Amino acid sequence: MIERLEVGARMSRVVKHNGVVYLAGLTADDLSQDVAGQTRQVLKKADAKLSSAGTDKAMLLTATIWLREIQDFDRMNSVWEAWIDAANPPARATCEARMADDDILVEIVLTATS
């Protein structure tokens, strides 16, 4: 059975299937903040969405992180490292990418088990 949460016109924000939770790409709401501020916002959203699906960051399997500017890697990573469950880090990839809006500095996609 597939369970879809936060269903919109173009996508579901959270999908659960066979004990796996998939989060759609998460971006910040306040795009006036720098990459660290945007990353904090994204990870706060991630906590809420994982919780709504009955799981948490200790159960992360993978993370894909897109940065508008790869020079922001260390600033984003300092926020990520403070947030992540250090005993249970996911497999992760980070790359520079063109974003849908020039003010989006970071976007994160997460997959977890429930």
pLDDT at 46: 98
For the chain, list the domains and their CATH numbers.
Answer: 24-113 (3.30.1330.40)
pLDDT digits (tens, 9 = 90+) for 36-54: 999 999 999 999 999 999 9
Query: Is residue 15 helix, strand or coil?
Result: strand
pLDDT at 35: 98
pLDDT at 30: 98
- Using only the alpha carbons of the chain, give its radius of gyration: 14
The model's pTM is: 0.96
User: pLDDT-derived band of residue 83, with 50, 70 and 90 as boundaries?
Assistant: very high
Closest of 110, 29, 109, 34 to residue 68, by C-alpha: 34
CB 90 within 8 A of CB 61: yes
